[in-house]
Structure 1
Amino acid sequence: MQIVTRDPATGAELGRYPAHDDDAIERALAETAATAVAWAATPLPERLALLRTVGKILTERRAQYAALITAEMGKPLAESLAEIDKCAWNCEVVADLAPEWLADRPIDSGAARSWVSYEPLGVIFAVMPWNFPFWQVLRFACAALAAGNAAVLKHSPDVTGCALAIEELFESLQPGIFRALVIDAERVPETCARIVADRRIAAVTLTGSERAGLAIAAAAGAALKKAVLELGGSDPFVVLADADLGGAAEAAARSRFGNAGQSCVSAKRFIVVEPVADAFVAALLGATKSVSIGPLARADLRDTVIRQIEETVAAGAKLLAGGGTGTPGYFVEPTILDHVTPGMTAFAEETFGPVAAIIRARDDDHAIALANDTDFGLGASVWGEPEHALAVGRRIRSGALFVNAPVASDPRLPFGGTGRSGYGRELSAEGVREFTNVRTIVAG
């Protein structure tokens, strides 16, 4: 069986890759399990030196890797270059700060000595999506490897070339520490469940859809293994009466239409208090005119977004901009829908594409109620006079709150959600420690 990758801008075939059979998967698991034992015993400075080297190679090959990202998932080259740069930055941040993050933490318990130690788990199995094909992988891999673990990756088949390029990078530096599995789509559910259950897998991490998260969480629960899940989001972008409307609109356009809207943490529901709603909408329309985006990654993703737009308009929302498609390829125009209300598709569902839903609120309390009217809880962005916006934001349920700034991930800050956006954290000290045994030690 072969995996075929296609150019989202044209639909043309890019490459064919042989899928791994059961024997190849077994060899990968055996190799990473053996490597994990030696890697756990490797001094932390040596582990972090590997991450610094990875960061340097990413920078040296940024043009090559960015071109591969653009070819396989469609984002503009400038965005792909920025993704590689962020991966290299993450390598440096983890290498700089992991000695502090993983240091023994003394605790005064009344014993002669007591402390908490952060120790490796073994092999981490990761299931990752196509929308940031290098960033999603490097942010988990840097944490897992710094903590002394080895890693096995099941990437999206759409970005198989990216997965194998990352594997080659790590293999060239430390054989057996990072393996990428190429699995036929029809075999993914059964194969992933079997890998999670394998005694050589210590923990699991997934970034992706609710459906995939439920499957991996069920498998991890059945095997009594830790899981970190970063799932969907329907992030509110709340604009208060005292907001800088021009700045908010520019940030809104960047947040919603970057990566063609294919980001779990991008703003999706724009909740604006009525006194400034017309002015904000006008500013957003103006900011959107200069937006240039790439195609969505697949035809089915494009079709889902078009369905969501059509259903929302049919329910009474007003289409102010966009809504159309382009050919060849899987393009959707930057789209703005006004007068969206609870129950409409663009309010109730995650819109994983370039669709901005404007929801008008009567006042602050109504804006907070609308923001919390979702099962998701990944990020929230609130715009207004700083203390006012912070007070409103604290009443919104989310894993991250950004005041007068769009939500974004940063290697120095923990990243993750609540509710149906998942559990656990990536990045920062919290993200590295997710892949450790937090061990209590008491010495009398």
Structure 2
Amino acid sequence: MSDSQFIIKPRWVIPMDGKQATLEQHAVLVDAGKILAIAPKNEIPEWASDWPVVDCSRHALLPGLVNLHAHSSMNLLRGYADDLALMPWLNEHIWPAERQWVSKSFVHDGSLLACAEMLSGGITTFNDMYFFPQATIEAVKRCGMRAHIGLVIMEFPTNYATTANEYIRLGTEVRDQFKSDTDISFSFAPHAPYTVSNATFEQISTLAEQLNLGIHTHLHETRAEIQQSIEQFGVRPLDRLLALGILGPSTVCAHGVHLEQNELEILATQGVHIAHCPCSNLKLSSGIAPAAAALRAGLNVGLGTDGAASNNRLDLWQEMRTAALLAKVADDNAESIPAYAALQMATINGARALGLQDQIGSIEVGKQADLIAVRLDDLNSLPAYDPISHLVYVAGREQVTHTWVEGHLRYQRTEEGQAVFAGVEAEELRSIALQWQLKIQSAQS
């Protein structure tokens, strides 16, 4: 018997395989990092009878969550500038802070904190966009997560690069270094239509096709962005990106708050994916994205947290619940984005957007064992008539007790409530956060 072989026995298995089924009193058999079998608990095959068992009899087992839009190292700027709209927040606070502080060590430490926060909340994969991507990858590898790294590109200089060509060169060098790593994948990440020129977008479109990379960008996040594009280019940002060849089946557009019906149909025709970030959009007063209308138009919509500087939590449970509730109000329809659809957005839809749907996002035989166990028996969760409804409308990230990535236990919350990570000690994370806080606060005074 191998140490990589074990059986998880939850009360409920939530496969997220599109059938909307809940399997009660079933077990999931894991072998060498993959899901080997799903069977009733009383029908475990004889050949697995001596495998170790993880008792999750008070839990729901579901696929690891996929965070479709993040700026992980911005965890170090959590709460740095709150209660502001997007452009004042960026221009007057975040970009100046980044000019002062962003470095390889800043990105590594912030990403390490973000990875731990995400793992503790059941996120096993995230789609990132930030500077010094190698530093983020190092943190990801230490924590044992899966990440899709956006190779950020802008026109203006930062501590990372000075020209668009330098951003591209540095990004492709990192991609070449890690392209054989099965847990790391890449996209070009032109930051936004208002920070990237036509010539650079055209270059990215060509390179993405040549290197078989996706594209990850912000789109229609605010009305001001759209008005600026009309004044500068004569068209809305979506029309501009469409003409420049940026929109396609490997493109993830974050936010999409101000998309009109015809634009949703264009994006659906192009096969574009949307990363819906409801909490960040609310906090920055950007608006309420038409997520339900996007789904009706045939778009694949996943969920993102955005960065901790603008949310301020990397918490997909909060995003699920907020997305479902906002859609009901926006549509004046209580049936808009039901619980199962919200859970799809946090799992298989996110995997599909990253081209990983054959590996993760659902509990199916042959897929990677990226799994999470969520305890649903505490007093605040009882009674539990429907586990899927409970996962969206009741559960919180504090109820995640186990997070596996490729069958490896990367996070566990003990019965005493202690957080245990496989790659880093909680006290080290606390020390890192406090050191950066002291450094940044001292410079402000």
TM-score w.r.t. the length of structure 2 is 0.27
- Normalized per residue, the structure richer in helix is 1
TM-score w.r.t. the length of structure 1 is 0.27
Between structure 1 and structure 2, the one with the greater Rg is 1
